[in-house]
Structure 1
Amino acid sequence: MSAVFDVAPDHHLAARARLELLFDPGTFRPMRTAVGDGVLAGSGRVRGRPVCAWAQDGGHKGGSLGSAGGETIARTIERADTLGVPVVGFPHSGGARLQEGVAALTAYARIFRAQSLATVPMISVISGPCAGGAAYSPTLGDFVVMTQEAVMFLTGPKIIERVTREQISAPDLGGPKVHGANGVSHLVARDDVHAAELTRELLMFLPDRIGATPPLVVPADAPGHDPSDALPASDRQVYDVRDVAAALLDGGELLELAPKWARNLTVAFGRIEGRPVGVIANQARYLGGCLDAAAAEKGAWFVNLCDRFGIPLVVLSDTPGFLPGATQEQAGVLRHGASLLRAFARATVPRVTVTLRQAYGGAHIVMNSRDLGATLTLAWPDARIGVMGARQAVELVRRREIEAGADAALLAEAYAAEHLPVRIAAAAGFVDEVVAPQDTRDRIAHVLELGA
């Protein structure tokens, strides 16, 4: 039995079936089957590209991992890294095998080391229970895909109840709703078949290894409508920034990652003229597009990931600033905001920023501003950029006049007209170009072509 596995046995697809769903029909070739000890590994092709993969049999010896199975997983990751091809894992385990003691623990250590050193994309697909080391391992990779039936946690419900007297179900402890909201899971699938489809789609945005070129596909036209059509007439109204992104991308298609985590920031993969791009955008539907600690953490993760795999970035900036308050300070907004700043400042991939409506204060800087190293900064004609919004600004600089009875709204209107129009920032060189929304895709495509 496992040290931490206390979830009732389930009846999901066998390890072999999960691998067959991932690979192109007839291409899977197993490896080390005689010594797998509940782990089946091998290689095949995904849309014609070589990929290595491994899968655990959750019904083998209580779903525990022994030293032989651990060696198979580690060797599969190391082999993928040597070959320079992505690796996909299907963990389904309760953790280290009690009967093997320290030997089982060291098996996990070897897996963790192989993952930490790998220079190839690593995707974990969780379709059943995973606990202990089996839950740690996916978070060492690049992406986690969970099915609706999956659960993953360091310690299961029964042990938690025994130690802390807290009663909680496995889904409430570590189901896809939990990990979708905290950023552990990046994609949630309906079932094993859908998980394989999502994994195959995700692989098409990723290179074979760090330093390789992300795969190109046949270019497709954008939907054809003006991307600014998604913006409402009033700045106080919200909209879905994914509609703007879709208008800029091939076929209007984007694969959003971690949509339930830090909803005020959208991150996704898409393509422009057949080239993969990472899209990072303020989402006005949540918190008005304000940045907070969670959004900054999410953004830093995504920027670092895209830079590691050579995927250019398209930044859609529309934010009134960082969310203020004691809760944010306690959440470490300074640390997480600095992480996002550092990620953009260090990134070497081409990255284009488009200011859609507004960008104020530190949030303007942190969303890949020109002097943070952006390759190109664009703005739409009605955008506004400044230290802060007009109302907040006049409450500070014209406070005495307002206290004496001056109309704050009129003062704010005058301040906005004098200081915030994007033409002022562009005339001073802080924005490279003011472009019509319908010309945005063409300008981005040109930068990507030069950087190819």
Structure 2
Amino acid sequence: MGSDSNQAQARINALLDENSFVELQSLVTSRSTDFNLDAKKEPSDGVIIGHGLVDGTLVFVFSQNADVLGGTIGEMHAKKILSVYDMALKVGAPVIGFIDCGGVRLQESFDALEALGSVIERAADVKGVIPQLMCVAGNCGGGLSVLPSLADFTFMVDGASLYINSPDTIKGNDTDTSSAKFQFNEAGTVDVCGSLAEVVSSMRQVISMIPNDIVEASDDLNRAAEGLEGKLTDAAAVATELADNRQFIELKAGFAKEMVTGLMKLDGVTIGVVGNREVDGEAYLSAIGCEKAADFVDLCDMYEIPVLSITNVTAFKACQCQEKRLPRALAQMTQRFVDASVPKLNLITKQAYGTPYVLMNSKALGADLVYAFDSTSVGAMEASKAAKILADNGTDAASIEKSYAELQDSALTAAAHGHIDRIVSMADARKYIIAGFEMFF
């Protein structure tokens, strides 16, 4: 992605509140004189740093400038980025990075490698302590690609490049594996991609959710949820209807579409959403979907964000690949749900069958509250399938199916057995979910 001399600054200006940016260490230059570097010294050493505001929230920012020494990382370049982390850590503010880098500075060799390592170490060290948002705005290759992967939220501008190995060095490769499209849809590395304006808008929305400060809600606490009957197959649509002012930001929407993850406010409180989405009419758990959910629940637990699971699941995805990966992924998701110490509420919307339901934040796994609609089907198996197994020779399978549906395939039965805490109407879902979370505050 090409850069002009003002692009690094323009990215900062696009993100921050107008006239709020204060640049720091603008006169820092490289200390190295090898390979005539001293003749090329320019202020900033290829990275602009400072602090500013996003809707009044203090943030610390660095933005690499590819027009100064290619935006490459050297000793002083890295020290500037480390100072951003140091300042942010002292006040508990988010760190935001715009990455546009030509890699390690070859003229500084081992010093540059150590410099890159020090930045990666710092990002890993503060993970879960202060929020990190990274935007791949230009080139990000090799070991530097670890930095956006360590971030809590990763964004990518169309036309930028994110890769370990350059696509043209991969034998037999015919795909641009460095593109935003690939990283968003196939790799699952990126939460949001698009134009700079679209990405910056999403970054501002995420920053408004974290840190998890309770704000005065502008939406009616008792507002009725409308039209949920037609949205039960998609947790993102349900979450949007429930959220304050119907604002829900879905993260990693292009990857593992059968699992929804995202953030919203409920009565002014940030809530993390993990839910199911039917794909081609099927509601299933997949390996990549479970890994996506596990990572997100872990993120919510680190930043003390309560979790709402929106459950509509009937099966495990079936193929040879899933048999290899799904058990470990299920274990990973289960462990995150069980270990999370934040309030956890489960809303069962349409169907909840078998072990897949149990693993989606059920009462058995430690959900604090479980709600369901009276139309929800809950049980070990769909009645039609159970009837085929239970029917003996000469037994009327249709009769068994009818009895099973009435006795063992109902949210009312599950509630009677203590597995569901409350049956709620769709219109009242928002009100009761807010009340449930408020109980824990």
What TM-score does the superposition give when structure 1 sets the normalisation length? 0.88
CA distance in 2, matches of 1:219, 1:329: 47
- Correspondence for 2:100: 92
- Correspondence for 1:135: 145
- Correspondence for 1:440: 429
> Using a 3 Å threshold, how does the CA distance of structure 1 residues 148 and 381 change in structure 2: closer, same or farther?
same
1:13 deviates by 5.5
CA distance in 2, matches of 1:153, 1:12: 24
1:287 deviates by 5.7
CA contact (8 A) 1:318 1:356 kept: yes
- The answer on 1:288 being equivalent to 2:293 is no
For residues 319-368 of structure 1, give each alpha carbon's deviation from its aligned partner in whole angstroms, at most 9, with x where no partner exists: 112223322112x1011111111111111111211111211112111111
> Using a 3 Å threshold, how does the CA distance of structure 1 residues 196 and 217 change in structure 2: closer, same or farther?
farther
CA contact (8 A) 1:378 1:433 kept: yes
Give aligned-pair identity as a percent. Answer: 28
1:428 to 392, 413, 417: 417
2:178 to 174, 178, 190: 174
1:227 deviates by 4.8
- The answer on 1:189 being equivalent to 2:194 is yes
CA distance in 2, matches of 1:156, 1:374: 44
Instruction: Write out aligned runs for 1:12-411 (5 A).
Output: 14-35=7-28, 36-118=44-126, 119-158=129-168, 160=169, 164=171, 166-168=172-174, 172-181=176-185, 182-190=187-195, 192-207=196-211, 213-221=212-220, 224-231=224-231, 239-286=233-280, 288-330=282-324, 332-398=325-391, 400-401=392-393, 408=397, 410-411=399-400
Letter in 2 for 1:228: L
What TM-score does the superposition give when structure 2 sets the normalisation length? 0.90
- Correspondence for 2:439: 450
1:9 deviates by 4.8
Letter in 2 for 1:126: V
CA contact (8 A) 1:24 1:48 kept: yes
> Using a 3 Å threshold, how does the CA distance of structure 1 residues 328 and 167 change in structure 2: closer, same or farther?
closer
- Correspondence for 1:4: none
How many corresponding residue pairs? 422
Moved over 4 A (4+): 8-13, 406-410
Q: CA RMSD in A?
A: 2.1
1:246 deviates by 2.1
For residues 382-434 of structure 1, give each alpha carbon's deviation from its aligned partner in whole angstroms, at most 9, with x where no partner exists: 11211222233233333x53xx6x66555433322221111111111111111
1:215 deviates by 4.5
**Please, which runs of 5 or more residues in structure 1 have no aligned partner?**
1-7, 208-212, 233-238
1:418 to 407, 412, 426: 407
CA distance in 2, matches of 1:135, 1:396: 51
CA contact (8 A) 2:224 2:430 kept: no
CA distance in 1, matches of 2:178, 2:26: 31
1:282 deviates by 0.8
For residues 226-279 of structure 1, give each alpha carbon's deviation from its aligned partner in whole angstroms, at most 9, with x where no partner exists: 3533258xxxxxx43333222211111211111111101111211111211111
CA distance in 2, matches of 1:351, 1:216: 20
Aligned to 1:354, the other structure's residue is in SS state: strand
